[in-house]
Amino acid sequence: MSRLALEISDLHFTYPDGRKALDGVTLSMRPGERLALLGPNGAGKTTLALHVNGLLRADRGAIRLGELELSDDNLLEIRRRVGLVFQNPDDQLFMPTVGEDVAFGPANLGLEGDELERRVDEALSTVEASELRARVPHHLSGGERRRASLATVLAMHPDLLALDEPAAGLDPAGRRELIETLKNLEITQLVITHDLPLALELCPRSLIMDRGRIFADGTTAEIVADSELLARHRLEMPFGFGSRAAGC
């Protein structure tokens, strides 16, 4: 496929309090690519994700998802195509059971009956969470809630996933399960994180974002090995990890 999955051109955004969160962001992604957006807290990463999904609208610039440029006329279709997975799974789990949460989005698209049941089954199976279908979301472990929230997004059949700190709060086993799940998904993924080992394992390519701008774009292995670059943007590999850094 020659068409880009995501193309962001000269994006600018200032919050009502005057804080400039995006200052000319430009980036592109190929279909099926897993790209890490690295940066410290306050860099503008989550703000950018909210723009890709259309939840925030830029002061200036353009966003194109495949052949579709984000506009007021196609906002609902953009939000279907871009699956935003929030840092806190509880922001996406609000129904009495996991199955009802996963069904909520497709049902609002008009799916019902056997077709809706198949969509829910497929999404839960993809994240190996079929056994959670009848469970109450707030009774789940952190890893289970993460998989359930991912299933709610996958049930919409998005073209792109934007994941905000996907491994935050997970224990080592939950983290490993999540990484393997994401690796097995044949879908374009924008992974927003300051977790460099996660980026190294999951994403062949990374960008560094800071103060609303892109400062570096290259292979993840090269970026995490550049300690001076990382230090300039308040990032660092865990102690003892740097010597093991290699390609994804």
DSSP string across 117-160: HHHHHHHHHHTT-GGGTTS-GGGS-HHHHHHHHHHHHHTT--SE
140-162 burial by CB neighbour count: b if 16+ within 10 A, else e?
Answer: beebbbbbbbbbbbbbbbbbbbb
Asked, for residue 76, whether it belongs to a domain, the answer is yes
* Per-residue pLDDT in tens (0 to 9) along the chain, 248 residues: 448 999 999 999 999 999 999 999 999 999 999 999 999 999 999 999 999 999 999 999 999 999 999 999 999 999 999 999 999 998 899 999 999 999 999 999 899 999 999 999 999 999 999 999 999 998 999 889 999 999 999 999 999 999 999 998 888 988 999 999 999 999 999 999 989 999 999 999 999 999 999 999 999 999 999 999 999 999 999 866 654 454 44
The edge-to-edge listing of strands for the beta sheet with 60-65 is 20-29, 6-14, 60-65, 68-69
Asked, for residue 241, whether it belongs to a domain, the answer is no
Q: Which domain holds residue 203?
A: 6-235
Q: Residue 14 half-sphere exposure, CB side, CA atoms within 13 Å?
A: 7
Residue 83 burial class via C-beta count within 10 angstroms: exposed 0-12, middle 13-18, buried 19 and up: buried
Number of domains in the chain: 1
Name the amino acid, one letter, at 109: L
Dihedrals φ, ψ of 236, to 5°? Answer: -160, 150
Instruction: Quickly count: other Cβ atoms within 10 Å of residue 60's Cβ.
Output: 12
Asked, for residue 229, whether it belongs to a domain, the answer is yes
Gap between the terminal Cα atoms of the chain:
22
Q: How far is CA 66 from the centre of its chain?
A: 17
Asked, for residue 248, whether it belongs to a domain, the answer is no
pLDDT at site 246: 43
Asked, for residue 20, whether it belongs to a domain, the answer is yes
pLDDT at site 240: 63
Asked, for residue 47, whether it belongs to a domain, the answer is yes
pLDDT at site 242: 54
Asked, for residue 246, whether it belongs to a domain, the answer is no
- Which residues neighbour 13 within 8 Å (Cβ) at sequence distance 6 or greater? 20, 21, 22, 47, 51, 56, 58, 59, 212
pLDDT at site 3: 84
Contact criterion met (CB below 8 Å) for 68 and 81:
yes
Six token digits for residue 108 = 């609002």
| pTM assigned to the model | 0.92
Asked, for residue 17, whether it belongs to a domain, the answer is yes
CATH assignment at residue 37: 3.40.50.300
